[in-house]
Amino acid sequence: QVQLVESGGGLVQPGGSLRLSCAASSRLYTMGWYRQAPGKQRELVARITSTSSTNYADSVKGRFTISRDNNRKTVYLQMSSLKPEDTGVYYCNMELGTYVYWGQGTQVTVSS
């Protein structure tokens, strides 16, 4: 059973930055960051493959950067120029064949 633990969320003012971390209990595979705002469906924010190929939601391109440290078994999401609409619970996931594992989520609130 893979365990994913997110950290780094919090309250930040519009225009600010945060870095989220996701520590895995196993080696990393394809990793993703998703978010869910109140009353909305969970959506993909960013994804990084084992070869470090990345893709981003249009709404975060140019502001967010996903990266991975295989030695530390950790994936990161650097978020800059944050907007109120970035508010939500951010979840890390791991795609391992037909299995998808999820972390418990970390709250990000962008507000003045």
Q: Exposed, middle or buried by CB within 10 Å (0-12, 13-18, 19+), for 8? A: middle
Closest CA to 28 of 49, 9, 7: 49
- Segment 18-27, tens digit of pLDDT: 999 999 999 9
Instruction: Quote the CA–CA distance of 36 and 107 in Å, as a whole number.
Output: 10
Q: Summarize pLDDT for 16-73 with one digit per residue, the tens.
A: 999 999 999 999 999 999 999 989 999 999 999 999 999 999 999 999 999 999 999 9
For residue 91, give both structure tokens.
Answer: 């979840």
